[in-house]
Chains A and B, each alone.
Chain A
Amino acid sequence: MSQTATMAGSTPATAGTVVEARGPKPKPFFTPRKIIIYSVLVFFSLYYLFPLYVMVMTSLKTMPEIRFGNIFALPQAPTFDAWIKAWTSACTGLNCQGLSPGFWNSVKITIPSTIVSIFIAAVNGYALVNWRFRGSEIFFAILIFGSFIPYQVMLYPLVMITREMGIFGSLQAVILIHTVFGMPILTLLFRNYFASLPQELFKAARVDGAGFWRIFFEIMLPMSLPIFVVALILQVTGIWNDFLFGVVFAGTQNYPMTVQLNNIVNSVQGTPDYSVNMAATVLTGLVPLTVYFVSGKWFVRGVAAGAVKG
């Protein structure tokens, strides 16, 4: 009797003893499945991180050390000279003030474009879902169709339009263009989000007597923080990374950071200063990078939320 009791209570150390299943199922850590998944993940993270590693390391080296050619090596004497030069005194075309003017130009373009486009798109999406008007579906279809037309096709007409408006080559022009081109995707995003909110809330607000703007500001907006964060991320990174519209519409004195970065890197005078180029590139990418790091979770959540309901 006592013999069997001990047997039943013992662990599966001895071969041939069958342990009765009880409690949580044991999960061994090293299963073939996990090993494969983690190796693939590690491989691809390294693959994508290497360029960043090379850039940051190169930017901290001196030119003689770079010419030595060992791009994967750590810098022997790390120096931030290249960063300082990229920010304050590298030559972008004829100006030698570094990237800082470009940074501030990008800020001046990104902030108003983001705010204006998100606001208009939010109102669009809200109106399309809750205040159906005659032809609202067609309006929406045309808007979405707009996002499939390549930018290049519209470039020349837009140049003519902004010239006729007298704003070509100014901040207003580039802000206007960014706002217009942000409209299809942002409207879709907001429309889908508002469609996922309970319709009865809107009805209740109407019975309570609230009108178009009151419902928008007091009922819908406070519930829409997640989708605003998503829109913010999309717009900030998209507009910050834009090159084409900046170079075409902003005018030379308002070139955004991306255009100035190009001017530094593609400068044909003198010997190319790789450490400055690398530092300038990392500096330009810093804003979108920060946005992604800070808001990565929100971003995924928002995209998932926006994409599910059509």
Chain B
Amino acid sequence: MQHSVSIRDLSLNFGNVKVLEHLNLDIAQGEFIVLLGPSGCGKSTLLNCIAGLLDVSDGQIFISGKNVTWLEPKDRGIGMVFQSYALYPQMSVERNLSFGLRVAGMPKDEIERRVARAAEILQIQPLLNRKPANLSGGQRQRVAIGRALVRDVDVFLFDEPLSNLDAKLRSDLRVEIKRLHQRLKNTMIYVTHDQIEALTLADRIAIMKNGVIQQLADPHTIYNKPVNLYVAGFIGSPSMNFITGSVDGTTFTAADGTKIPVGAYDFAASPAGSLKAVLGVRPEHILLGDAAQGMPFKTTAEIEIVEPMGSETLAWTKVAGVPVTFRCSSDIPLAVGDKVTVGFDIARGSLFNAETENRL
């Protein structure tokens, strides 16, 4: 099968700083890929390389089967949407949308047809004669998407498109981008540092750190089976609870001596002998009270902090001597100092090698 975008052995250095190192990534036709990572991880740099705005130091980039490594941005069949919208301030919305087409010397009626179509899809027809300064943030970002849309490209590149918007608008536009993808079925590559955006939008997420893709998988796998400690800690809010200790056969022994049975855990390869390990369990997988009774591991813990969040409650406690958070329904009355039974099933948790930090 031909990949829509294929990145082979890509490296990029700024002087002595290695931003991307031997990076490989294949993206299927019509796939929505999210590049997720903290600032400085190289995700925007990778996007700029795909767009042709940065020269690569080594490696190749293929788009729709064509080697575009040395091609100008306009010849790569890409459209790009920027965080700051990057609308041309002195041009009306209509001129903004048509700028690329006018540069390409397209006939007038074709330009009009495409602008009208993009305006219809994004519902910005009433704004066509306005200047960007007279638009709201959400409208501006729609126009910016429209500018990519009119060029009728194979691949859409989004560089943190929602980061400048307020929370409400962000979730609205997130849904719109998803709807747009379902309608157009274009390949989309989307850079963000917001894990909610990544989890909600992506077909597959590529989690990056220091210019290296840590894990490339669908959101469910990323969330439930993180390949290493970094991914496990990065995804999820509040983040996963970690208990350090060692694993021997079917028993995990925490640093304070607490024994947790891990026989139900789906080991990739059963560790031979005793091994230093980290046990990770997500806050929502820790059950409370009666529900905890049936769990393979349960213990009594004292509530230290309660954070009511409306739909649910976050509580802080100590398990095996380390601070642990868990989520529960806001209907359950909890008070600081309460002694409760908490428990979890290791089958829903994760175990990592403490030295390599990789999943066991």
Which residues of A are at the interface with B, using a C-beta cutoff of 8 A? 198, 200-201, 203-210, 214, 218-219, 222-223
Contact = CB atoms under 8 A, between A and B. Distances in A.
A222 B88 CA distance: 10
A219 B73 CA distance: 17
B107 to A, nearest CB: 16
A207 B100 contact: yes
B89 interface: yes
Contacts of A210: 99-100, 103
Contacts of A206: 52-53, 72-74
B82 A204 contact: yes
Interface string B88-111: 111000000001100110000000
A199 to B, nearest CB: 9
Contacts of B151: 208
A203 B80 contact: yes
A203 B103 contact: no
Contact of A203 (B53, B90, B100, B147): B53
A198 B132 CA distance: 15
B89 A223 contact: yes
Interface residues on B, range: 20 to 34
B79 interface: yes
Interface string B48-65: 100111000000000000
Contacts of A214: 103
A207 B103 contact: no
A219 B104 CA distance: 16
The 6 closest A-B pairs by CB, nearest first: A209-B74, A208-B100, A200-B86, A204-B86, A222-B90, A200-B82
Interface string B40-54: 000000001001110
Contacts of B86: 198, 200-201, 203-204
A206 B48 CA distance: 12
Given A198-B84, A209-B100, A209-B103, A204 B90 contact: no
B292 to A, nearest CB: 51
A42 B312 CA distance: 67
Contacts of B73: 206-207, 209
Contacts of A207: 51, 53, 73-74, 78-80, 100
A200 B141 CA distance: 13
B103 A200 contact: no
Interface in B149-201: 151, 159
Contacts of B52: 206
Q: Interface on chain A toward B: helix, strand, loop, or mixed SS?
A: helix
B104 A209 contact: yes
Contact of A204 (B48, B72, B104, B147): B147
10 contacts: A198-B84, A198-B86, A200-B159, A201-B86, A203-B51, A203-B82, A204-B88, A209-B72, A210-B103, A219-B88
A24 B202 CA distance: 53
Contacts of B103: 208-210, 214
Contacts of B99: 205, 208, 210, 218
Interface string B305-335: 0000000000000000000000000000000
A123 B328 CA distance: 62
B190 to A, nearest CB: 16
B83 interface: yes
Nearest to A211: B103
Contacts of B72: 206, 209
B85 to A, nearest CB: 8
B55 to A, nearest CB: 11
A210 B103 CA distance: 6
B74 to A, nearest CB: 3
B152 to A, nearest CB: 13
Nearest to B103: A209
Nearest to A214: B103
Contacts of A204: 80, 82, 86-88, 147
A214 B100 CA distance: 11
B108 to A, nearest CB: 17
A113 B241 CA distance: 70
B90 A208 contact: no
A206 to B, nearest CB: 5
B79 A201 contact: no
A173 to B, nearest CB: 38
A201 B79 CA distance: 14
A21 to B, nearest CB: 35
